[in-house]
Structure 1
Amino acid sequence: MFGGGGGMNPRKMKQMMKQMGIDVSELDAEEVVIRTADEELVFSDVQVTRMDAQGQETYQVVGEPESRPAGTGTAGAVEAGDDGADEADDDGIPQDDVELVAMRAGASEDAAREALEAADGDLAAAVARLE
């Protein structure tokens, strides 16, 4: 169809895509997780490319995934039907905040929750307290 396009100069290809209104950029992704009903596909050593064509964003993920049973993610088990989004425990700290602080500080969720409680829910102060 394009006749010999396989050997096209990448710079020339980028110029052509820009002329057609297609913007391509690389994302500095550390990890990509794809959750299905049965499993989680975790890409740790991953290359992610974002392509924006006329307002429609498309992401390309390249790498070898590790397959895990659903609900066994690194941030803790998720019960069926519960995505963990913004649910606060008895202490009023949203689970998403606990997971974020734990991930950023490299700490356990219990330690992250204690730091958030001590910092009155301030995410940055909780991370700083744990580092």
Structure 2
Amino acid sequence: MIPGRMNSREMRRLMAQMGIKSTEMDDVKKVIFVGKEKDYVIENAQVTMIEAQGVKTFQVVGDFRETPKKQEGKKEETFPEDDIKLVMDQTGVAREKAIEALKAASGEPAQAILNLTQK
């Protein structure tokens, strides 16, 4: 057990006897833990790496904050209204079908019309 009144020098000596190494990581300024729904950020971080029996453990102290992840929805493809109407007029299909054809034709109305009329 560790006595209640031990100075830092004695603590370091005792840790060395037990095979525990403690290293300050002075060049670390920020630590980010990436989660599924939010990230955890520690600014002005003071990081200590403690190595014992081949296992590295990190102690992090600093200003803590959570940041929610941005919703990454699928970007909806949009086509000029004139292209949609042209495909609809030339093929007689509904708007949704014309948009699907434009998607399949990489936005090229002529190719979309050809694809729809050749079916």
Output the TM-score relative to the length of structure 2.
0.54
Is 1:43 matched with 2:38?
no
Structural mapping, 1:106-121, within 5 Å: none
2:53 alignment partner in structure 1 = 54
Q: How many residue pairs are counted as aligned between the two chains?
A: 72
Question: Which structure 2 segments of 5+ residues have no match?
Answer: 74-119
Output the TM-score relative to the length of structure 1.
0.49
Is 1:8 matched with 2:6?
yes
Greater gyration radius: 2
Measured after TM superposition, the shift of residue 64 of structure 1 is 2.2
Cα deviation code 1:8-59 (max 9, x no counterpart)? 1110010010011000010021110011112111111111000010211000
Measured after TM superposition, the shift of residue 70 of structure 1 is 2.4
Q: Is the 8 A contact 1:35 1:70 kept in 2?
A: no
Calculate the aligned-residue CA RMSD, in Å. Answer: 2.1
SS of equivalent to 2:16: helix
CA distance in 2: counterparts of 1:15 and 1:39, whole angstroms: 41
Greater RCO (Cα-Cα under 8 Å, separation 6 or more): 2
1:65 alignment partner in structure 2 = 64
Question: Which structure 1 segments of 5+ residues have no match?
Answer: 73-78, 81-131
Instruction: Tell me the percent identity.
Output: 38
CA distance in 2: counterparts of 1:24 and 1:18, whole angstroms: 9
